[in-house]
């Protein structure tokens, strides 16, 4: 396809690619799938939509896809950062290593908060510098959160290991829980 017709799915594409979060994580757990699971009900203030930030984020990602820079993209609106990243790994049939920082957020807020205006993307190692320039040009915050590859999914927060599991086993659990949720 021509450069204007590039397609980008949510599945990770290649080992050694870098995983980045575009957009800012805020302390917003209200209305989330996580809270619903924990409490059995939907409550709390929903994440605030900041239209200007959202427009800049979408423009940044679209341009990154057009350039052939962004190899996968998955928004965090359903389940938060951890769920979006896991679904991208499952889709690509690969493991990944996440290295997250709390920056004063609660653990559950960091992992499962559904702050609007955030997209998990993957880029080749050679594309990292170009992504940083693109994000800066669009005034979108950018943080490297991990690497794709291997058969395991590991998550560390502020250097402390939180999860280390076989990617295929986690994917099977995820699919079973989805089947149960759908009846």
CA distance 181 to 66: 36
Give the residue ranges of DSSP H helices in 23-166.
33-39, 51-66, 80-92, 107-112, 128-137
The pTM of this model reads 0.87
Q: What is the pLDDT of residues 94-129, one digit of tens each?
A: 999 999 999 888 888 889 888 888 999 999 999 999
Predicted confidence (pLDDT) at residue 41 exceeds the cutoff of 80: no
Mean pLDDT of 155-160: 96
How many Cα atoms are found within 13 Å in the side-chain-facing hemisphere of 64?
A: 34
What sign does the CA torsion over 117, 64, 90, 165 have? negative
Work out the pLDDT band at 2, boundaries 50, 70, 90. very low
């Amino acid at each position: 396809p021509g450069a204007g017709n590039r397609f980008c799915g949510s599945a990770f594409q290649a080992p050694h690619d870098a995983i980045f979060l575009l957009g800012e994580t805020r302390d917003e757990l209200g209305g989330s799938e996580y809270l619903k699971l924990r409490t059995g009900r939907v409550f709390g203030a929903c994440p605030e939509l900041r239209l200007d930030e959202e427009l800049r984020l979408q423009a940044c990602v679209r341009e990154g896809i057009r350039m052939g820079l962004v190899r996968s993209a998955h928004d965090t609106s359903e389940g938060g950062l951890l769920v979006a990243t896991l679904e991208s790994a499952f889709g690509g049939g690969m493991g990944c290593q996440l290295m997250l920082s709390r920056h004063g957020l609660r653990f559950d807020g960091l992992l499962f908060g559904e702050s609007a205006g955030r997209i998990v993307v993957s880029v080749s190692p050679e594309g990292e510098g170009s992504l940083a320039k693109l994000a800066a040009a669009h005034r979108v915050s950018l943080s490297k959160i991990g690497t794709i590859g291997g058969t395991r999914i590991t998550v560390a927060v502020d250097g402390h290991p939180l999860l280390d599991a076989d990617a295929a086993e986690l994917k099977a659990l995820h699919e079973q829980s989805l089947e149960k949720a759908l009846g």
